[in-house]
C-alpha cells in the first residue's frame, strides 16, 4: 500500500527540473524532497483560511501573525534555491549547447547586455523560474493523485480505459501522445478529471491595470479580479452531468470525443496556463503508463472512498488515501 502523492510529486518535479535546469534528481535526493515540501507547504497554506484572508487583505495580513507567514519563509527558501542553481548553470554554461530554459535565458541575457530596456535580466530569470516551479509541480502532482482516486472509486471507468489501452497501445510499448486521437474514451476521461476536480476553482487572482467596462459593469483600475472557473466547469447549461464524475460530459452520441468550449480548468484567452501543452502530455503519458501496467486497489471499501476535497481554497486538494498498484500480466495485444 502506498500514498501515491509522494511518487507523483517527485515525477512532476523532475519534469520541471529537466525543462528549467536540464537535470533530474534521484527520488531520495534531499534537494528534490525539500523543494517538493516547500511548494506543497506554500500551496496548501495559500488554500487555507489564512491564505484566503491574506489574499483578501494583504495590506493588513502582512503584519498579523498566523500560518500564512510560513508562505513567505517557503518562498524565500525557494528563491534562494533558484538563485543558487542559476549560478551553477551559469558557471558551466556552454553557449553552443544550451540544456535548458535557464541556459537559453542566460544566452539571450548576454546578447541583450547592452540594451537598457531588455526584459532578459537576472531578476526576470530568477522570478520566472521560481514561478514555473511553483505553478508546474503541485498542480500536476495533485491532478494525477486525484486522477488515481477517481479511477479507483469508479472501477468500470478504469476498466474501459484499460480496454482502450489494450486495443490501441498494447502492453509491450510505451504510450505516445499520438495514441490519444485513437482513444476517445480515455481522452474524455482525462478531460472529465480536469473538469471535475476543478483544481483552481477561482483561477489565479488578477488585478486590472486600467479602468475598464465589462458587460456593463465598471471595474476601476487596481481592482482584484477572480475568474471563477468553477462556475463554468460546473455549469449545467454546458455539461449534462455537472456535479458527477462522468466521462459522458465529453462524449457524443457515437462515443466520439466531444470538445466543449466551457472546458477551462487551465483558464482561457491570452493568460491561459503557460503549461497547457505540457499538462496535456503529462496527464496522458503518466496516467496511461500507470494504467497500462497496474490495476488500482483500495484498502477501504469503495463506498467509503471520499472523493470530496480535503482543502478547498486557492486549490482543491484530495484527502490523503492509500492504494495498492497490482501489476497487470504482460500480454501482447497489438502486433
Ligand atoms: C493540471 C495542472 C495545471 C492546472 C490545472 C493549471 C491551471 C492554471 C490556471 C487556471 C492558471 C491561471 C491562468 C489565468 O489566470 O488566466 C495557470 C497559470 C499558469 N500556469 Fe498552470 N496549471 C497547471 C499546470 C501547469 C504547469 C505544468 C506549468 C509549468 C509550465 C504551469 C505554469 C503556469 C504559469 C507560469 C501560469 C501563469 C501564466 C500567466 O500569468 O500568464 N501550469 N495555470
ipTM (interface pTM): 0.97
Q: Is residue 60 very low, low, confident or very high in pLDDT (cuts 50, 70, 90)? A: confident
CA atoms of 253 and 256, how far apart (whole Å): 7
Nearest residue (CA) to ligand 1, atom 6: 266
Mean pLDDT on 5-17:
95
Dist. CA 49 → ligand 1 center (Å): 22
Does residue 258 come out as left (phi exceeding 0), alpha (psi in the -120 to 50 range) or beta?
A: beta
Find the Cα–Cα–Cα–Cα dihedral 224, 230, 231, 237, rounded to 10°. 150
Q: Which long-range contacts (CB under 8 A, 24 or more apart) does 269-273 make?
A: 271/206, 273/135
Dist. CA 267 → ligand 1 center (Å): 8
Cβ of 292 below 6 Å from ligand 1? no
Cβ of 132 below 6 Å from ligand 1? yes
User: Do the beta carbons of residue 261 and residue 134 sit within 8 Å?
Assistant: no
Mean pLDDT on 150-156:
97
Higher-pLDDT residue of 230 and 58 is 230
User: What's this model's pTM, rounded to 2 decimal places?
Assistant: 0.93
Q: What digits encode the pLDDT tens for the residues 18-42?
A: 999 999 999 999 999 999 999 998 8
Dist. CA 273 → ligand 1 center (Å): 3
Q: What digits encode the pLDDT tens for the residues 207-221?
A: 999 999 999 999 999
Cβ of 129 below 6 Å from ligand 1? no
Q: Is 270 helix (H, G, I), strand (E, B) or coil?
A: helix
pLDDT for the residue numbered 331: 66
Q: What digits encode the pLDDT tens for the residues 81-110?
A: 999 999 999 999 999 999 999 999 999 999
Ligand 1 atom with least separation from CA of 279: 27
Cβ of 199 below 6 Å from ligand 1? yes
Residue whose cell numbers read 493523485: 145
Task: Decide if pLDDT at 48 tops 50.
Answer: yes
Cβ of 274 below 6 Å from ligand 1? yes
Q: Give residues with Cβ within 8 angstroms of 172, minimum separation 6.
A: 330, 332
Q: Is residue 43 very low, low, confident or very high in pLDDT (cuts 50, 70, 90)? A: confident
Q: What are phi and psi of 207, to 5 degrees?
A: -135, 135
Task: Decide if pLDDT at 335 tops 50.
Answer: no
Q: What digits encode the pLDDT tens for the residues 267-276?
A: 999 889 999 9
- Per DSSP, the residues of 167-204 read HHT-SSS---GGGGGG-HHHHHHHHHHHHHH-SSTT--
Of 110, 119, 68, which is closest to residue 90 (Cα–Cα)?
Answer: 110
Percentage of residues in the chain having pLDDT higher than 70: 99
State the chain's mean pLDDT as an integer: 94
pLDDT for the residue numbered 7: 92
**DSSP 8-state class, residue 320:** P
Cα four-point dihedral sign 244, 41, 148, 8:
positive
Q: What digits encode the pLDDT tens for the residues 305-329?
A: 999 999 888 889 999 999 999 999 8
Ligand 1 atom with least separation from CA of 203: 10
Ligand 1 atom with least separation from CA of 12: 27
pLDDT for the residue numbered 258: 97
Task: Decide if pLDDT at 163 tops 60.
Answer: yes
Amino acid at each position: 500500500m502506498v500514498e501515491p502523492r509522494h511518487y507523483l510529486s517527485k515525477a512532476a518535479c523532475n519534469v520541471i527540473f529537466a525543462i528549467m535546469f536540464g537535470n533530474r534528481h534521484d527520488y531520495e535526493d534531499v534537494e528534490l524532497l525539500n523543494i517538493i515540501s516547500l511548494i506543497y507547504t506554500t500551496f496548501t497554506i495559500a488554500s487555507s483560511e489564512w491564505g484566503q484572508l491574506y489574499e483578501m487583505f494583504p495590506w493588513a495580513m502582512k503584519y498579523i501573525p498566523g500560518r500564512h507567514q510560513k508562505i513567505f519563509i517557503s518562498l524565500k527558501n525557494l528563491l534562494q534555491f533558484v538563485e543558487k542553481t542559476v549560478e551553477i548553470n551559469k558557471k558551466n554554461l556552454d553557449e553552443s549547447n544550451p540544456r535548458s530554459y535557464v541556459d537559453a535565458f542566460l544566452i539571450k541575457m548576454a546578447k541583450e547586455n547592452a540594451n537598457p530596456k531588455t526584459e532578459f535580466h537576472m531578476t526576470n530569470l530568477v522570478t520566472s523560474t521560481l514561478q514555473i516551479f511553483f505553478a508546474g509541480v503541485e498542480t500536476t502532482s495533485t491532478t494525477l493523485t486525484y486522477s488515481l482516486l477517481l479511477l479507483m472509486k469508479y472501477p468500470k471507468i478504469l476498466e474501459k480505459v484499460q480496454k482502450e489501452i489494450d486495443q490501441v497501445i498494447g502492453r509491450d510499448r510505451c504510450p505516445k501522445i499520438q495514441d490519444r486521437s485513437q482513444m476517445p474514451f480515455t481522452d474524455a476521461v482525462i478531460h472529465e478529471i480536469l473538469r471535475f476536480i476543478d483544481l483552481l476553482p477561482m483561477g489565479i487572482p488578477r488585478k486590472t491595470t486600467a479602468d475598464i467596462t465589462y458587460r456593463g459593469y465598471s471595474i476601476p483600475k487596481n481592482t482584484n479580479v477572480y475568474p471563477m472557473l468553477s462556475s463554468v466547469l460546473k455549469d449545467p447549461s454546458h455539461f449534462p452531468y455537472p456535479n458527477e464524475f462522468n466521462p459522458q460530459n465529453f462524449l457524443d452520441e457515437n462515443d466520439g470525443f466531444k470538445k466543449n468550449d466551457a472546458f477551462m480548468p487551465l483558464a482561457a484567452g491570452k493568460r491561459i496556463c503557460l503549461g497547457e501543452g505540457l499538462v496535456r502530455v503529462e496527464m496522458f503519458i503518466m496516467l496511461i503508463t500507470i494504467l497500462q501496467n497496474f490495476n488500482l486497489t483500495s484498502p477501504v471499501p469503495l463506498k467509503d472512498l471520499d472523493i470530496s476535497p480535503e482543502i478547498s481554497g486557492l486549490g482543491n486538494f484530495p484527502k490523503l488515501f492509500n492504494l495498492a498498484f497490482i501489476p497487470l500480466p504482460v500480454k501482447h495485444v497489438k502486433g
